[in-house]
Amino acid sequence: MRNTDAEEQHESIGVFLVDSNNIFRQGVRLALVDKKNIEVIGEADITDKDIIEIIEQLAPRVALIDVNMPLFNGLDLTRQITQRSPQTLVIVLTPYEDENQLFQAIKAGAVAYFSKNVDAEELANIIRRVASGEHIITENVLTKPRIAERVLKQFQDLSLAGVAMESLAAPLTARELEVLTYVARGYGNKRIAYTLNISEQTIKNHITSILRKLDANDRTHAVVLAMRHGWISMAERKEAVPQ
The two counts, helices (H) then strands (E), for the chain are 12, 5
pLDDT at 186: 78
Which pLDDT does position 99 carry in this prediction? 82
Q: How many CB atoms lie within 10 A of CB 50?
A: 10
How confident is the model over 43-71, as pLDDT tens digits? Answer: 988 666 688 889 999 999 999 999 877 55
Say yes or no: 89 and 136 in one domain.
yes
Below-70 pLDDT ranges, the chain: 1-10, 46-49, 70-72, 138-145, 147-148, 151-170, 233-243
23 and 111 assigned to the same domain: yes
> b/e string for 137-156 if b means 16 or more Cβ within 10 A?
bbbbbbebeebbbbbbebbb
SS3 state of residue 85? coil
C-beta of residue 202 within 8 angstroms of C-beta of residue 213: no
Residue 173's CATH number: 3.40.50.2300
So what's the pLDDT on residue 226? 81
DSSP assignment letter at 229: T
For residue 145, what pLDDT is reported?
67
Range of the domain at 60: 6-142
13 domain-assigned: yes
Give kind and range of the element (H or E) at residue 226: helix 219-228
Helix (H, G, I), strand (E, B) or coil at 173: coil
Three state DSSP letters for 190-208? HHHHHHHCCCHHHHHHHHH
Does residue 150 fall inside a structural domain? yes
- How much is the pLDDT for 155? 56
- Report pLDDT for 233: 61
- Summarised one tens digit per residue, pLDDT across range 216-232 is 888 888 887 887 777 77
What does the pLDDT read at residue 126?
94
1 domain-assigned: no
**Cα dihedral 68, 73, 78, 84 in deg (nearest 10):** -160
Q: Are residues 30 and 67 in the same domain?
A: yes
pLDDT confidence of residue 234: 46
Task: Give the ranges where 59-214 is alpha helix by DSSP (H).
Answer: 74-84, 99-108, 120-131, 137-142, 145-160, 174-184, 189-196, 200-214
Q: Interior CA angle at 119 toward 216 and 126, to 5°?
A: 20
Rounded to two decimals, the pTM is 0.62
